[in-house]
Structure formats: C-alpha cells, structure tokens
Amino acid sequence: MQITSDRIRSLAEPLQIGPVRVPNRVFMAPLSGISDRPFREIASRGGAGLVVSEMVAGERLVERNREASMRAERAGEGPHVVQLAGREAWWMGEGARAATDAGADIIDINMGCPAKKVTNGYSGSALMRDLDHATRLIGAT
C-alpha cells in the first residue's frame, strides 16, 4: 500500500463511533503497563483523537479497586475510552456500567492481548478460540 498525501489527510477527518464524535482518525492503542493517564494525556496533546486506557478487569472496576480506577481515569481532550478485560459476562457488563457511570464514552473489549497471564485466565486473545463466548461478552458489555 502506497502512502499518499490523500491518505495522510484522511487521518485528520473526524470519525463517528455511535453517538461519539472522534476529532480525527489517529488512535493510541492500549498498552498494559505503558498507557497510563500521563502517557495518554501526552498522546492526546500530541494529536491523537482517541486514546484508550490500559486494560482493566471489569470486576475490579465494580469493586472500586483503586489501581483499576486509576487506570480507567479520563485523559486528554477526546472521548474517554476504557478497555475492559475479562471472561465472565456478568462482570464485564457490570464493569462496563461502572466505567460509563464514571464517564466513559466508549468501552473497548480486550480480545487481542497475547500475554500468558491474560490468556491463561481465558481473557484477551484467548477469547478468539471461542467466538460464541466472545459474542456473549460483547452482548453483556
């Protein structure tokens, strides 16, 4: 794929995700252990239209775990996006409600993390082995 000035200009166009308007198409992906609130604020100030929190276990948000709540804090000017990780539909749903009650505009479900400590808990990319279960998590969230 050739990168052209038209492709680069298209990154500056706004994007609508449901009711949420994202000011541009430059996204900062969540990175566990890296994308803390200060990092996300820097990315937002640097021009990212959407920054995503580190993954947070849904049940930890429900329990009002201090560390989980800090990971999910708003950062920057754009939409507030919280990434949830988990395997239990009920906890994911309740975690999504806790996040939106705290101001999250978008809930992202982690289905890509390959780390063994995540996949051994049947979360992250392990969810791709059971699409029916992944669909249930999406529905609950």
Cα atoms found within 13 Å of the Cα of residue 87, Cβ hemisphere only: 14
What is the per-residue DSSP string for 66-94?
Answer: HHHHHHT---SSS-EEEEEE-S-HHHHHH
How many angstroms separate the CA atoms of 67 and 53, rounded? 12
Query: Among residues 50, 61, 106, 113, which one is catalytic?
Result: 113
91-103 pLDDT, tens per residue? 999 999 999 999 9
4-61 pLDDT, tens per residue? 788 888 899 999 999 999 999 999 999 888 989 999 999 999 999 999 999 999 999 9
Question: Which residues are 106's β-sheet partners?
Answer: 81
Structural domain containing residue 47: 5-140
> What integer pLDDT is reported at residue 13 of this predicted model?
94
Q: How many domains does the chain have?
A: 1
Closest CA to 59 of 87, 34, 36: 87
> What integer pLDDT is reported at residue 1 of this predicted model?
60
Q: SS3 for 21?
A: strand
pTM of the model: 0.88
Q: Does 113 participate in catalysis according to the annotation?
A: yes
Please report, for the domain that includes residue 21, its CATH number. 3.20.20.70
Higher pLDDT, 118 or 105: 105
